Amino acid sequence: MDIEQLRKIASEVVARDDVKCLIGWKKGSYGYRIAPAFVEDTEETADLIFSPLCTANLATYLTLVEKLPVPRGQEPDTRKVALMVKGCDSRAVTQLIVEKGISREDVVVIGCPCPGVVDAKLLAEKYPETEEAAEVKWNGDGFLLIRGGEEIKIARDEVLAEKCRLCRYPNPVISDLMLGEPVKPWDVPEDSGVVEIEEKSIQERWSYWLEEFDKCIRCYSCRNVCPLCYCQDCILDRLNPTWINRAVNFSENTAYNISRAFHLAGRCIECGECERVCPANIPLGKLNRKLAREVREKYGFEPGIDPEGEPFQASYKPDDPEDFIL
Cα distance between residue 257 and residue 80, in whole Å: 34
Q: Per DSSP, what are the bridge partners of residue 36?
A: 25
Model pLDDT, residue 168: 94
Model pLDDT, residue 65: 74
Model pLDDT, residue 72: 86
Positions of the chain with pLDDT lower than 50, given as ranges:
none
pTM of the model: 0.91
Residue closest to 36 by CA, chosen among 15, 11, 61:
61
Model pLDDT, residue 326: 64
**Which tens digit of pLDDT belongs to each residue from 256-281?**
999 999 999 999 999 999 999 999 99
- Helix segments in the chain, DSSP class H: 3-14, 87-98, 120-126, 156-159, 162-165, 192-198, 202-213, 221-225, 250-263, 273-277, 284-299
CA angle 225, 101, 293 (to 5 degrees): 65
Model pLDDT, residue 323: 74
Cα distance between residue 158 and residue 166, in whole Å: 15
Cα distance between residue 261 and residue 213, in whole Å: 13
Q: Are the C-beta atoms of residues 86 and 112 closer than 8 Å to each other?
A: yes
Model pLDDT, residue 131: 86
